[in-house]
Amino acid sequence: MAHLLAQIEGAVITGQELYDYEAYFHDKSGLSYTIPEYLVFAHSRSDIEKVVEFCMEKKKKLSVVGGRTGYSGAANARGGVVVSLEKMNRVLDFFKEDAIIHVEAGIITDAITELSAGEGLMYPVKFAATGSSQIGGNIATNAGGVHVLRYGTTRAQVLSLEVVTGRGDVLNTGSAVLKDASGLSLKDLFIGSEGRLGIITRAYLRLVPIPRSLVCVLCALSCLAALAPLAKLARQKASLHALEFWDLACQKILEKKSSLRPLFNRDFAYYVLIEWEAESQEVQSVLEEALSCSLIEDALYAETALARKELWKYRERISESLSHGNKVFKYDISIPPFRLSDFLRNLQRNAPEIYPTLNMVVFGHLGDGNVHLNFLLDEKEKAIEHNSLDLWVYEQVIAAGGSLSAEHGLGQLKRSWYAKFFPQNFHFQQQVESIFDPHGILR
């Protein structure tokens, strides 16, 4: 290696050896990727600067990978160079009293909570993959998860970023301040940028106190019409923490694929998991009201930490158990909360007409209108064209005033759809991308 990469502190993998590292070249989307010429495990920001310089000089594509838990193919290698930040996983500073932490971007998301729990603090972005996703990946996708209702998405946690742009500049978007009104917010451009503007190397993040007492309840619903009023009732308690839902099809697959036992002694149309920071007596009155106006048929209480973890397993294992042995088309979409029920009702009505045998499975974050729509395909349906299904789904999303991507990003999957439905927005996005990545190495 007679070039810049030879000066790198971290490891550089090349040649045949690359084939031992295939896991670093793609995320969980199952989309295509091209084996790169080099895989770099960066140890420092200066390594990253060298990689960017190398790619500019040699006109090579550069893909950044985090924990590769993404669902949009955004992290998939496109030949050229792949850089991983997994060795850049240090905590640089921890201001306990102010609940602020300064980390390198390669740190595993849940590790931040593990490190700060002793001080009664946690990092509030949490979902089934945060045990392996990285903060850099979360920031680059503006990850959401199950606590968005209470704490907001990743965007709400980031105070400031250090970035190496696609031109090789080292950019500090600000500092560890909680308020910042100095013109356009540069950090916000990088949040959700899917590695297309630069490489995030460091972040100041805010932490939150660990909730004192959580009550977790699983409600059984007999119809779709009850979802929205139940969500409304649950929200009336200011301390609502999480509000998740899944349908009967999900529940059946969970019981079969995840060896989780049935929750009730009969089936229900929908299951809603609600978590409040409250005492169980307070929650009791809300649930009794829901029961008395037939919004719910019954509910299960998890009052202990152990029982809560058990109940959450149902929600957390959905994604994996759907993919287990099935071909799945996944849609991560966002619908304005006030249109969610209508949207789901229309889907259920229209799907059988257009795709009579299609197995539609719905779950997601009820509280913020983020629906994960899944179509499980068996042999017969393999022939269904992805494109036509995409179009069918997205037209309904647009009609409902929703967003094509709630939290998984555009990636390879949705960029062209975004361009089609939002040409003007897409144009401006491209303009911004060409400022930070004029040579197009990151795209």
Partner 1 sequence: MNILVLIKQVPDTEAKIVVSGGKVQEAGIKWIISPYDEIALEEAIRIKEKTGGTVTAISVGDDLVQQSIRTAYAMGADHGIHIKHDQYQMLDAFAIASAIAKAIEGRDFQVVLAGRQGSDSDNGQVPLILGTLKGWGVVSFAKKVEIDSQKATVHVEAEGGEAIYESTLPVIITANAGLNEPRYPSLKGIMASKKKPIEVINFADLGLGTVSRIEILGFEPPPPRPQGRFIDGADPAAKAKELARALREEIKVI
Ligand X SMILES: Cc1cc2nc3c(=O)[nH]c(=O)nc-3n(C[C@H](O)[C@H](O)[C@H](O)COP(=O)(O)OP(=O)(O)OC[C@H]3O[C@@H](n4cnc5c(N)ncnc54)[C@H](O)[C@@H]3O)c2cc1C
Using CB under 6 A, list all residues that contact ligand X.
27-28, 64-71, 74-75, 85, 105, 127-129, 133-134, 136-138, 140-141, 143-145, 194-195, 199-200, 319-320, 407-408
The residue among 157, 317, 206, 204 whose CA lies nearest residue 251 is 317
Q: How far is the CB of 313 from partner 1 (least distance, A)?
A: 12
Cβ closest to ligand X, residue 407 vs residue 433: 407
Beta strands (DSSP E) in 15-123 are 38-41, 62-65, 81-84, 91-95, 100-104, 121-122
Find which of ligand X, partner 1, none residue 12 binds, CB within 5 to 8 Å per kind: none
Site string for partner 1, 217-246 (x = CB under 8 A): xx----------------------------
* 180 binding partner (options partner 1, ligand X, none; Cβ < 5 to 8 Å by kind): none
Longest dimension (CA), the chain: 75
Query: By CB under 8 A, which span of 160-168, 221-229, 245-253, 293-301 interacts with partner 1?
Result: 293-301
Answer whether 102's CB lies under 8 Å from 176's CB.
Answer: yes
Between residue 242 and residue 281, which ones bind partner 1 under the rule CB under 8 A?
261, 263
Which one of residues 212, 256, 324, 386 is an interface residue with partner 1 (CB under 8 A)? 212
From 73-81, 177-185, 300-308, 387-395, span contacting partner 1 (CB under 8 A): 300-308
CB of 380 to ligand X, least distance (A): 27
| Token couple for 197 | 């503007």
Nearer to partner 1, 110 or 298 (CB): 298
DSSP secondary structure string, 183-205?
SS-HHHHHTT-TTSSEEEEEEEE
- How many Å apart are CA 294 and CA 436, to the nearest integer? 55
CA–CA distance, 178 with 245 (Å, rounded to integer): 33
Strand order across the 62-65 sheet:
11-14, 38-41, 81-84, 62-65
Q: Which two tokens stand for residue 1?
A: 């290696």
Q: Which residues bind partner 1 (CB under 8 A)?
A: 212-213, 217-218, 261, 263, 284, 287-288, 291, 296, 298-307, 310-311
